[in-house]
Amino acid sequence: MAQPLRPFITVVLAISLDGKIADRQRSPARFGSAADKHHLESQIAQVDAVLFGADTLRSYGTTLPISHPEFLRQRQAQNKPPQPTHIVCSASGNINPQLAFFRQPIPRWLLTTATGAEKWTDQDGFERIIVAEQSGGVDWVAAFQRLATLGCDLIAALGGGELIAGLLTAECVDEFWVTVCPLILGGRNAPTLVEGEGFLEAIAPRLELIEARSLDQEVFLHYRVKRKTDSER
């Protein structure tokens, strides 16, 4: 049976050695090096859209636009707009319109539910609002089918852990780029790469290592997500 049309999705995140993406106060994660930031920007430069959850936006207040001249030239040569579309995922639509994010020179879309969309009916801020709802939350399969029709063939998912958990549960992740940074955050309340209810070992997503390299005390790991059909070959 043919798979539903959807974008190719790469998760790009930095973690501490113990797998945390933020500290116990959920402060903005700024523990990655300049090399990690360059790597993140290089990944963003390759995609049509970046996707992140509302909690991630609330924590940082902004998103990361492309600023490196090399990456801007790269996109121009590929006939792509200077910036990919930045898509916020929020089932509730509760996002402060005063955030600096709304003043950044980037295209902004909102992925939400019918209830969330109503909160932005009379507000500017998003160029497009996409409603894809299932049981009060976001229907990922429907959402990505819609995004594919809008020209989003490559998407970088930048967190947080709840969003990544939802994508994995819906089997919508193709690859991971994970930067392991040299610190330990610990704490039962510190968020991890994948939140939610978790997976039993027997049905946990399996990965295949594509590349591993180290630079300035950090390790950059590139994984492909194995599909169930892989084990049947």
Residue 134's H or E segment, with its range, is: strand 133-134
Q: Find the Cα–Cα–Cα–Cα dihedral 35, 26, 45, 157, rounded to 10°.
A: 130
Q: Quick check: is 1 in a domain?
A: no
Which residue's entry shows tokens 């029709």? 149
| CA angle, residues 86, 94, 114, in degrees to nearest 5 | 85
- Judge contact between 221 and 209, C-beta under 8 A: yes
How far apart, in whole angstroms, are the C-alpha atoms of residue 223 and residue 204? 15
158 closest CA partner among 177, 135, 172: 177
From the CB of residue 233, how many other CB atoms can be counted at a distance below 10 Å? 5
Q: Which amino acid is at 137?
A: G
Tally of structural domains, the chain: 1
H/E element holding 13?
strand 8-16
The DSSP secondary-structure symbol of 100 reads G
Indicate whether 128 belongs to any domain: yes
Give the residue numbers spanning the domain of 37.
8-232
What CATH number has the domain bearing residue 62? Answer: 3.40.430.10
Report whether 167 contacts 193 (CB < 8 A): no
What number of residues does the chain have? Answer: 233
Q: How far is CA 172 from the centre of its chain?
A: 12
Is 86 domain-assigned? yes
Alpha carbon 103 to its chain's center: 21
DSSP codes of every residue in 173-195: --EEEEEEES-----TTS-BSS-
pTM: 0.94
Domain contains 91: yes
**Residue 3 domain flag:** no
Residue 196 domain-assigned? yes
* Each residue's pLDDT expressed in tens, for the chain with a length of 233 residues: 345 589 999 999 999 999 999 999 999 999 999 999 999 999 999 999 999 999 999 999 999 999 999 999 999 999 999 999 999 999 999 999 999 999 999 999 999 999 999 999 989 999 999 999 998 899 999 999 999 999 999 999 999 999 999 999 999 999 999 999 999 999 999 999 999 999 999 999 999 999 999 999 999 999 999 987 665 44
